[in-house]
Structure 1
């Protein structure tokens, strides 16, 4: 089943450019959704998250696929650095809450929350993969004023953590 999902995802991605995303300087669309942190459900509101400092909001296609699991583990490993830089991290996908509860424990290791990205949120952040309910792998750094200050959209998970952390550190120096 995972191979079928991966094959469908690759086919959809081949047909769609990764360049689409919100431009730097744009106000990040506000939203409220449900999520999980260390298996426990909670309500997530973007505006509330931004009251605590900058936010790394990263979209990923599907929990428990290889790239998404590796990316979550990489963010988990880097959480002390993000906290030191004053930033929070939230992962977003179209997965349902029970899946995210499990993913928040197993892949995120309880170190940061993951939340459900509705079709409207995926569309508002311009990360939809055509003909699927999934999102592209896109990371945003959002300043406390709600403006997008950095975007990285690349299906390989390998650079998302390093690039968003660098952007958060640069934001802190301003």
Structure 2
């Protein structure tokens, strides 16, 4: 019994270790242009264009309308003004379709129209950041009861500076802690600029 408990504790601890993102602080962030949605309206998002205004928090998450992703989106929305005050913008990226993201981006419980979420339906953006992609699990439902029929990527956040470099890669944290760490990084960047 004790051995089973120790094994379970060790496995649980592994879940809290930082995700291994091959891209780390100092690496060039791959530029991307893709369909995104904000407040239910689709548009073309360009990382290169967004970086002209300041640092960009690029956060990858598994799927809209799932437990942890709902918490993370809500936490980013609640803290949106703090990111803006630090001169940073936020973009969420998942392998969801733009149709699902139109709903998610406008949902007052989650993104609340505060920041855009981008569709990486083929996983090419996640792969360019060297993130792991998992195939869709048959029969998996989201929190609304709809099928999740797309692959997912690991939860990892990259803070990208206007020169296109990664200032920090944040993984292996709970969804809310992930947002808090990203905010801490952009606030440090803001203090360095002033």
Q: Where on the TM-score scale, by shorter chain, does this alignment land: which range?
A: 0.7 to 0.9
- Which structure 2 segments of 5+ residues have no match? 1-13, 137-150
Tell me, yes or no, if structure 1 residue 139 matches structure 2 residue 154: no
The question of 1:120 aligning with 2:111 is answered no
Structure 1 residue 158 displacement after superposition: 2.3
Alignment of 1:64-75 (within 5 A): 64-75=65-76
Deviation of 1:155 (Å)? 5.7
Larger Rg: 2
Quote the Cα distance in structure 2 between the aligned partners of 1:109 and 1:130. Answer: 27
Quote the Cα distance in structure 1 between the aligned partners of 2:32 and 2:58.
12
Count of residues in Structure 1 that have an aligned counterpart in Structure 2:
160
Please list every run of at least 4 consecutive aligned residues from structure 1 whose deviation after the TM superposition is greater than 4 angstroms.
none
Give 1:146 deviation, angstroms. Answer: 0.5
Other structure's SS at 2:152 match? coil
Give the distance between the partners of 2:36 and 2:135, measured in 1 at CA: 24
Q: Deviations over 1:119-151 (max 9, x none)?
A: 211101122234452110001100010000011
RMSD over aligned Cα atoms: 1.7
Whether contact under 8 Å (1:24, 1:148) holds in the other structure is yes
Is contact 2:21–2:169 with CA below 8 Å preserved after alignment? Answer: no
2:97 matched residue in structure 1: 96
